[in-house]
Structures are given as structure tokens and as C-alpha cells.
Amino acid sequence: MSRAVKFPRYGGTDVLQLVDVAEVNAGPGEVKVAVVTAGINSGEAAIRQGAMDSVYPAHFPEGQGSDFAGVVSEVGDGVNGIEVGDAVVGFSDGRNAQADYVVLAAERVIPKPHEISWDEAGGLYVAGTTAIACVTAVGVRPGDTVVIAGAAGGVGILTTQLAQHAGARVIATVGESNLDYFRELGVEPVLYGEGLRERIRELAPEGVDAFIDTHGEDNLRLAADLGVDPDRTNTIIDFSGAAEIGTKAKGMSTVDARQTLLELAARMARGEIELPVYASYPLEEVAAAYDRLAEGHGLGKIVLHVSEEPLSG
């Protein structure tokens, strides 16, 4: 038997349980991975609460988790290029990553560069693919002035660095506690909240070329007020606002996950991009981890520690 996070019905974090499940072997074309770290995302919380029932229904007892990193413990028939003991970054579509073991198609893991920490690797998939989708959607170019709303979140922090490395001037909307981090990164942080439009106008009197919204609320209206072309405005959360104003709403499903992760992992290994992790919890405290996420503030990601960090990898 091994452990997996499950929930027997829709509800708050109190429905999350760590249960014993029968171990499954890797079938043909599959690998089995002993999970070291697993990420958490607000989309999973929405599914667990039942808010996505019409589009992404749960099948009870439902499992949870897409992001993970771990060590390959079994390789199925027909799998080439992956060996037992390999450290990997995974991207599951089976709602099963918050568990001791994940069995999935071998194409859904990439090698984990040893320069990337287990925490960073475990939280990379959803935030990373979404960040690439955001910069691609608005076509960030050298010399652009780009506003990134919600820059301190998992998606925002990666998007910020991707836009910066694409040669853009980045104005990042953040809370008070994150101002210093973004200054040190070499971008221009600006406090979100009342007066944001004036603060951005003061920083960029010549105008803003592109706007990436990872937070929602009235950010799309702000982008329009700043005169940003709707075709160069993207949101990953305000879908009704996007329909109303005519902006883009391109999320993680618009990119090739494997190619994107390979690219991000290589760039992180070179030290070009980092993914801060502001909190970690043992797997058995999964409910506390989602309660912390729901507070809505922090720098980067929260990850679950599933097993001891291996000596190598």
C-alpha cells in the first residue's frame, strides 16, 4: 500500500484525506515515479469545491495534483531513454500527483536538471506552462513596456522573468512585502490597489505595449484604460472580462507542455529563471497547504514534501 490524497465529496479543505491505496505497476509505455515534491494550484481547489463541476467534474473518491518531481522506480515495456533512479520533473493529467507514487505515460516526465531544487521542480508544471502561454499570447518583444498584474504569484513570477529576458521593460504589480524582491530582480514593482492606474501612468507616460493579467478583478479594464491593444492583453482568469473587452484569454492548454517544460528546465538550470517557494508542507498536511494558498499572498509557490530528498538528482 502507499499514500495518496483523495476527497470523497466536494467541499472545503476538510474533505481532503491522505488514504492508503493499492500500488500499481508501470504498464507498457509507462513509468512509475516515487514522488519527492508535488505542487499545489488554485485550480485544484476550485475543482475540489465543485466550482468546475460542469467542465471538470470529479469522480469520487477523486485524487489531486498535476505538478510533481521524483525518482523513477519502475519502467514499463517499450520505454526508451528513461531508467530506474532517474530524477524527473512530471506533468500529470490524471489528478494523481499528490501521492507517494505516480504511474503515467513516459512522455509525461522530463529529466530534472540537478541545478534545479526539488522544491522548484515539484511546482513547475502548471505555473511554467501558463507563464509561457502568457508571454506568447501577447508577443513580448525587445523594447516593449509590459505590465504584469499579480506578478508575485507562481505564474506571475515566471512570466515576469520570461518577459524581462525577452528584452521587455517590466512593470510588476505586487503587494508591499514583495517590492524588494522585484527591485532586486531588476524590474519595476508597483503596488496594486487604489491609485494603480496613476502609478503606472507616472512610470510609463509614453504608454504600455502589452498587459498580462494573472489576478483578475478590474485588471482588464485597467489595461483598456491604459490604451493597451486588446490583442496584446492576456488574462488567465477573467474570462468574462476577456469576452466583454475582446482581449486574449490563453492559458496553459495553449502550449505544448513537454516542450515548454524542457525549455524552462534548461533556462532554470542556466540560472536565467528562478521559482521561489515560500512555503512547504509534508504530504499529510495537504489541507493546511491549501488553506495557506487561499490566503492569496506570497512569493512564488507552495509545495508538498512527499518523501525524503534523495542524495543525488
Ligand X SMILES: NC(=O)c1ccc[n+]([C@@H]2O[C@H](COP(=O)([O-])OP(=O)(O)OC[C@H]3O[C@@H](n4cnc5c(N)ncnc54)[C@H](OP(=O)(O)O)[C@@H]3O)[C@@H](O)[C@H]2O)c1
Site residues (vs ligand X, CB under 6 A): 41-43, 126-127, 130, 149-150, 152-156, 173-175, 178, 192, 214-215, 217, 236-237, 251-252, 293, 296-298
In the bound complex, what is the minimum distance in angstroms from residue 7's beta carbon to ligand X? Answer: 18
- Round to whole Å and give the CA distance between 162 and 212: 12
In the bound complex, what is the minimum distance in angstroms from residue 83's beta carbon to ligand X? Answer: 32
In the bound complex, what is the minimum distance in angstroms from residue 175's beta carbon to ligand X? Answer: 3
* Nearer to ligand X among residue 65 and residue 154 (C-beta): 154
* Nearer to ligand X among residue 88 and residue 126 (C-beta): 126
Q: How far is CA 84 from CA 22, 76, 81, 87, 276, in A?
A: 21, 10, 10, 9, 29
In the bound complex, what is the minimum distance in angstroms from residue 122's beta carbon to ligand X? Answer: 14
* Nearer to ligand X among residue 71 and residue 237 (C-beta): 237
Cβ atoms within 10 A of the Cβ of 188, count?
16
Q: Concatenated DSSP letters for 72-103?
A: EEEE-TT--S--TT-EEEEE-SSS--SBSEEE
In the bound complex, what is the minimum distance in angstroms from residue 266's beta carbon to ligand X? Answer: 22
- Round to whole Å and give the CA distance between 104 and 97: 10
* Nearer to ligand X among residue 27 and residue 175 (C-beta): 175
All cell numbers assigned to 199? 502609478
H-run or E-run covering 127 = helix 125-138
* Nearer to ligand X among residue 134 and residue 283 (C-beta): 134
* Nearer to ligand X among residue 252 and residue 289 (C-beta): 252
Contact partners, residue 202, CB within 8 Å, separation at least 6 = none
Residue with cell 540537478: 114
All cell numbers assigned to 141? 518583444
In the bound complex, what is the minimum distance in angstroms from residue 107's beta carbon to ligand X? Answer: 20
Compute the CA torsion angle 82, 86, 87, 88 (nearest 10 deg): 10
* Nearer to ligand X among residue 19 and residue 279 (C-beta): 279
Strands 87-91 and 67-75, by their bridges, are antiparallel
All cell numbers assigned to 147? 505590465
In the bound complex, what is the minimum distance in angstroms from residue 281's beta carbon to ligand X? Answer: 15
